[in-house]
Amino acid sequence: MANQDVDSKVDAQIEEFITMMAEKHQFDPDFIKQTLNGANKNQTILEAIAKPWEAKPWHQYFPIFLTEKRLAKGLAFWQEHQEDLQRAEQETGVPAQIIVAIIGVETFYGTYKGKYSVLDALYTLGFYYPPRATFFKSELAEYFLLTREEGFDLSDVKGSYAGAMGWGQFISSSYRHYAVDFDGDGVRDLLNNPTDAIGSVANYFKRHGWRSGEPIAFKATVATSSNKVDDLVSKSLKYKHTWQELSDAGVRLDDKTSLSAQQSVKLLAFEQPDNTEYWVGLPNFYTITRYNHSPLYAMAVFQFSQQLQQAMELK
């Protein structure tokens, strides 16, 4: 009986979705219905979203991404696409090493762009994952719009379990709003074109507030009570403190680093096997979390970008 109740709720939500797409976006309701009838609920996707990598402690998370193999592949990508990366940096202010790091962390430079049907992923999460159903139904609508605008086959595109696609793993709404035709061939192709991916990642960061030439984060030490630290760290990604507040609470940077008293900052804590590592995040660190809402992700991208930059300087 319980399964019947679930099925009837899903059926009602699907009917509501079809009506919305027809009325708001002028889709043929029969086309939407036929497409969704051809979509499959994927249990593996539901299991994957329940156990994201970002739930791991830092000391288990960063070794997934900070590897010699990824660094070597990143340097090769940088050298191959040096002109595109230089132009993207000049036009947007986003450093080449950040763009290279993002594409490396997301898809290992186009090697792993995802094995799931994007349609199945968004259908599954939109109608069978209540915690984030509203978001994924919205992304499903964006996917219909994207494929209509770009001429993709709805059923062909593969991506992540969350419906992200292409070299930079853009979700449908990000693809529609931030993708650019960086090579000027008339197509915004993030699925197969690394040049468009480079320009689009840079554009995404620029549009989300990247501050050209400013630092990202500094390692810190903390000389204060654990309760006070917990208050300062907070789970919210938003920046609620100034450097003056952190400094007054006993947060210290090395002697070579100075910040203005009113600089907007966030104290970040990363779990190591035997201790906690602290960093002070600046606005550009927050911008990286706009790409993936996880401090672990942002720190992995930042540290990988540093490795890439240092290795390129030695070449």
Running DSSP on this structure, what letter comes out for residue 170?
A: B
Contact predicate 73/108, CB 8 Å: yes
Contacts with 232 (C-beta within 8 Å, 6 or more apart), sequence order: 224, 241, 246, 249, 251, 267
Closest CA to 66 of 32, 28, 104, 93: 104
Taken as a whole, the chain contains a residue count of: 315
Q: Are 127 and 152 in contact (CB under 8 A)?
A: no
- 129 burial via Cβ count (<10 Å: 0-12, 13-18, 19+): middle
Q: 235: which DSSP letter?
A: S
The one catalytic residue in 54, 68, 106, 271 is: 106
CA 279 from chain centre, in angstroms, equals: 21
Q: Which amino acid is at 278?
A: Y
Contact assessment for residue 251 and residue 232, using Cβ atoms and an 8 Å cutoff:
yes
One-letter amino acid identity for 31?
A: F
In angstroms, the Cα distances linking 183 to 85, 96, 104, 139, 199 are 12, 17, 20, 27, 9
CA distance 169 to 163: 8
Active site residue 149: no
Active-site residue set: 106
